[in-house]
């Protein structure tokens, strides 16, 4: 290898090493954001370790191109690595997954019958629960909502430039669709989703903004995710984009 090639290789290695170091805090932020929704006992440190591997993969595969920001690119890979790891651990009990599906189905049944957005009371009645019991159920199934907007399973491991382009098209289409569906949520749910995903606030902070308890913020978020899940599923059945 001649001196010029060695210099270019060293320069690229330094640049990629610098990318890794400059974005380590992004891993910590994402890990804490996801970790806030996990059952007690799951260490955020474990998520950080997995996220660092995702960052390393992003650094190795990233090719600078106009309009392709590394932080956005790395965000997808880091989240994908963490979500993949959580899937492998199957940390959500089957019974909780089933309850989550029941909530989503109850929302769909009520809204199909009434032709409008269902209220908490109407959904609770559909499930033969009082409001307090329904609130407890929403908190119980909250762990299942982690994947609803953070699920990047089709974007985690691009293999070629073509794969990456297709991934970006799919990602943009999904984001556009989600934005439309979020706009259809009741105002409080729309605000909670915006604070959680756009501004990165945790549930305790959202509760403070809304002047409600952290428990209530969790319930509103969980119900919003259930609405989005069923709306997204219905749209995908009608017009498969992703």
pTM exceeds 0.75 for this model:
no
**CA gap 68, 168 in Å, rounded:** 10
Domain 1-91 has CATH 3.30.565.10: no
**DSSP 3-state of 12:** helix
What pLDDT score does 174 carry? Answer: 58
Where do you find CATH 1.20.140 in the chain?
Answer: 93-242
**CA gap 46, 42 in Å, rounded:** 8
Q: What's the CATH code, domain 93-242?
A: 1.20.140
DSSP state of 41: T
**CA gap 155, 39 in Å, rounded:** 25
Where do you find CATH 1.10.1740.10 in the chain?
Answer: 1-91
**DSSP 3-state of 65:** strand
Which has the closest alpha carbon to 226: 192, 201, 195, 199?
A: 192
Residue-wise pLDDT for 127-139, tens only, equals: 999 999 999 999 8
pLDDT in tens, the chain (242 residues): 454 554 454 445 447 778 888 888 889 888 888 777 666 666 788 888 888 998 888 888 887 776 667 888 888 888 888 887 777 665 667 788 788 889 989 999 999 999 999 999 999 999 999 999 999 999 888 866 554 444 433 333 333 444 444 455 455 555 667 778 888 899 999 999 888 877 778 888 999 999 999 899 999 998 998 888 888 777 666 554 33
Residue 203 host element (H or E): helix 203-210
Q: What is the secondary structure of 128-185 as a DSSP string?
A: T--HHHHHHHHHHTGGGGHHHHH--TTSS---SHHHHHHHHHHHHHHHHHHHHHHTTS
């Amino acid at each position: 290898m001649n001196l010029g090639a060695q210099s270019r290789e060293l320069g690229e290695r330094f640049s990629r090493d610098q990318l890794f170091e400059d974005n380590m805090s992004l891993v910590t932020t994402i890990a804490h954001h996801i970790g806030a929704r996990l059952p007690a006992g799951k260490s955020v440190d474990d998520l950080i370790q997995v996220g660092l591997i995702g960052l390393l993969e992003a650094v190795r595969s990233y090719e600078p191109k106009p309009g392709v920001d590394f932080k956005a690119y790395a965000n997808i890979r880091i989240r994908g690595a963490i979500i993949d790891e959580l899937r492998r651990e199957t940390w959500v009990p089957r019974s909780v997954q089933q309850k989550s599906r029941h909530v989503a189905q109850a929302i769909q049944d009520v809204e199909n019958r009434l032709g409008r957005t269902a209220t908490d009371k109407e959904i609770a009645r559909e499930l033969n629960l009082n409001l307090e019991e329904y609130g407890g159920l929403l908190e119980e199934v909250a762990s299942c909502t982690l994947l609803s907007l953070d699920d990047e399973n089709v974007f985690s491991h691009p293999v070629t430039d073509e794969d990456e382009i297709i991934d970006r098209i799919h990602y943009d289409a999904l984001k556009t669709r989600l934005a439309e569906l979020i706009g259809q949520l009741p105002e409080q749910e729309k605000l909670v989703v915006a604070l959680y995903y756009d501004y990165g606030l945790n549930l305790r902070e959202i509760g403070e903004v809304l002047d409600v308890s952290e428990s209530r913020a969790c319930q509103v978020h969980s119900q919003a995710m259930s609405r989005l899940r069923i709306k997204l599923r219905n749209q995908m059945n009608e017009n498969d984009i992703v």
